[in-house]
Amino acid sequence: MEKAIERQRVLLHHLRPSFTSSSLENIDSSLSASICAAGDSAAYHRSSVYGDDVVIVAAYRTALCKSKRGGFKDTHPDDLLAPVLRALIEKTNLNPSEVGDIVVGTVLAPGSQRASECRMAAFYAGFPETVPIRTVNRQCSSGLQAVADVAAAIKAGFYDIGIGAGLESMTANPMAWEGSVNPKVKTMAQAQDCLLPMGVTSENVAHRFSVTRQEQDQAAVESHRKAAAATASGKFKEEIIPVDTKIVDPKTGDEKPVTISVDDGIRPNATISDLAKLKPVFKKDGTTTAGNSSQVSDGAGAVLLMKRSIAMQKGLPILGVFRTFAAVGVDPAIMGVGPAVAIPAAVKAAGLELDDIDLFEINEAFASQFVYCRKKLELDPEKINVNGGAMAIGHPLGATGARCVATLLHEMKRRGKDCRFGVISMCIGTGMGAAAVFERGDSVDDLCNARKIGTNNFLSKDAQ
Catalytic positions, please? Answer: 140, 395, 427
The phi and psi torsions of 342 (rounded to 5 degrees) equal: -70, -40
- Inter-residue contact 449 to 37 (CB < 8 Å): no
Alpha-carbon span 303 to 293, nearest angstrom: 26
The phi and psi torsions of 457 (rounded to 5 degrees) equal: -85, 90
- Inter-residue contact 395 to 403 (CB < 8 Å): no
SS3 content of the chain, % helix, strand, coil (to 5): 40, 20, 40
Alpha-carbon span 168 to 106, nearest angstrom: 6
- Inter-residue contact 408 to 154 (CB < 8 Å): no
Contacts of 45 (CB under 8 A, 6+ apart): 37, 351
Angle formed by the axes of helices 142-156 and 400-415, nearest 10°: 70
Q: What letter would DSSP give residue 182?
A: P
Start-to-end CA distance of the chain, whole Å, equals: 22
Phi-psi region at 244: left, alpha or beta (left = phi > 0; alpha = psi -120 to 50): beta
Alpha-carbon span 334 to 338, nearest angstrom: 8
- Inter-residue contact 137 to 107 (CB < 8 Å): yes
Alpha-carbon span 216 to 219, nearest angstrom: 5
Strands (E), 62-201: 65-66, 101-105, 133-136, 161-169
Contacts of 250 (CB under 8 A, 6+ apart): none
Alpha-carbon span 422 to 413, nearest angstrom: 11
| DSSP annotation string for 350-367 | TT--GGG--EEEE--SBH
Q: Which of 71, 18, 101 is nearest to 306 (CA)?
A: 101
Q: Is 241 helix (H, G, I), strand (E, B) or coil?
A: coil
